[in-house]
Amino acid sequence: MATIDDVARTAGVSTSTVSYVLSGKRPISAPTRLRVEKAIRELGYRPHAGARALASSRTQVIALMAPLRVDVDVSVIMQFVTGVVTAARTYEHDVLLLTQDDAAGLDRVASGSMVDALVVMDIEDDDPRVPLLATLRQPTVLIGLPHEAAGLSCVDLDFEGAGRLAVRHLSARGHRAVGLVGSPPAVLERHTSYAERILRGFRSEAQALDVQAGHVACESSPSGARAAVDSLLAAVPDVTAVVVHNEVALPFVVSALHDRGLRTPEDVSVLAVCPPEVAESQPVPLSSIDLPAHTIGAVAVEMVMARLDQDHPAETRLLTPRVVDRGSVHDRSAVPEPGVSP
């Protein structure tokens, strides 16, 4: 492998000159720049990442911890991941992927100076990784919202707002009894923040608008979906709309409703909370509150880069939810009294 000295020699300049044409950190005359670039091309020169990291304290790598928990839809995780990777490349960074959910991995890559910054997914309300992250010298952004962010940046969809928006959207279309089919019990038990936040928003807005609201957890499986539907129908017999925040169970919830003789959207409306791709690719496309996973990943990178390059202060960014109509929410407001469907 050619080194920077080889390049300098064949270009007839000093090593620093080569370094500076590479970094652009000082002006170089056109002729020398050209000679250097030619030498680089001829020798197929690539700076040695380790040497560069050692000298500059910059690795051009960020860590991404993407725990592949059961019950969390992998396609959603993948969206976050690609969002992060794509955005990172934009900032000349690569991504080191950690899939095991432990503080040790974060500590290893950060303390060992393998990365310039960290992005951590699937944050729980009281997440054991947060205190560690707060001690690192590299900036971190959390995807999710812990109870105590300890000075770290956070980014996520505003799930509480999404819960409210869902109820408001349905209420405005004449629905007076709505259900939320949510995350699996395991997700709730570990107090993953989004599950609790959407529920809070859902309930508070239902109360405010005097809408009857039921919530059921839902295992991410066909049988789990059937059970959830049954228990929701038992709890809220008059339910006319159901919000589903569970990508894996989503298709099964819809088919479970059908199996019980409830058509979508004539008998019961369905509003999903999921990435647009998921809502579109259902057997019948579903209206949804989009979870812009790819975007969130990209924003996480932007935030972390802003902290690195301009030591921008920490902040929390909650993306505003919006409803995308794909026809699975029925407008009942034309029907004055809940009556017999045609």
Q: Which residues bind DNA (CB under 7 A)?
A: 1, 3-5, 12-17, 19-20, 22-23, 25-29, 31-33, 45-48, 51-52, 54-56
Task: Look at the alpha carbons of 56, 59, 60, 63 in this order and tell me if their dihedral is positive or negative.
Answer: negative
Among 23, 90, 99, 207, binds a copy of itself (CB under 8 A): 99
By a kind-dependent CB cut-off of 5 to 8 A, residue 25 interacts, out of a copy of itself, DNA, none, with DNA
Reported in sequence order, the residue ranges of the chain that DSSP labels E, i.e. its strands, are 61-65, 94-98, 117-120, 140-143, 153-157, 177-181, 212-216, 241-244, 269-274, 287-290, 316-319, 323-324
Q: Does 109 bind a copy of itself (CB under 8 A)?
A: yes
**C-beta separation of 167 from 213 below 8 A:** yes
- The residues that bridge with 270 in the sheet, in sequence order, are 242
Is the Cβ of residue 32 or residue 221 nearer to DNA in the bound state? 32
Percent of the chain that is helix, strand, coil (3-state, to 5):
45, 15, 40
- Our CB check for DNA shows the closer of 14 and 207 to be 14
Which residue do the tokens 């707060």 mark? 134
Nearer Cβ to DNA, position 20 or 80? 20
Give me the least distance between CB of 133 and DNA, in Å please.
Answer: 22
d(CA 198, CA 22): 48
Contact by Cβ (8 Å): 170, 241: yes
111 makes contact with a copy of itself (CB under 8 A) = yes
75 binds a copy of itself (CB under 8 A): yes
202 binds, among DNA, a copy of itself, none (CB under 5 to 8 A by kind): none
Cα separation values, 118 from 84, 101, 210, 253, 298, Å: 11, 14, 43, 36, 13
16: partner contacted, choices DNA, a copy of itself, none (Cβ within 5-8 A by kind): DNA
Partner whose footprint covers residue 4, from DNA, a copy of itself, none (CB < 5 to 8 Å by kind): DNA
User: Nearer Cβ to DNA, position 48 or 322?
Assistant: 48
| Contact residue for a copy of itself among 26, 48, 147, 260 (CB under 8 A) | 48
Taking each helix axis from N to C terminus, what angle separates 250-259 and 222-235, rounded to the nearest 10 degrees? 60
Nearer to a copy of itself, 81 or 206 (CB): 81
Q: Is 108 in the site for a copy of itself (CB under 8 A)?
A: yes
Q: Residues near 304 by Cβ (< 8 Å), separated by ≥ 6? A: 62, 117, 118, 119, 139, 140, 141, 153
When asked if residue 1 is in the footprint of a copy of itself (CB under 8 A), the reply is: yes
- Residues 184 to 223 in contact with a copy of itself, rule: CB under 8 A: 221-222
CB of 105 to DNA, least distance (A): 19
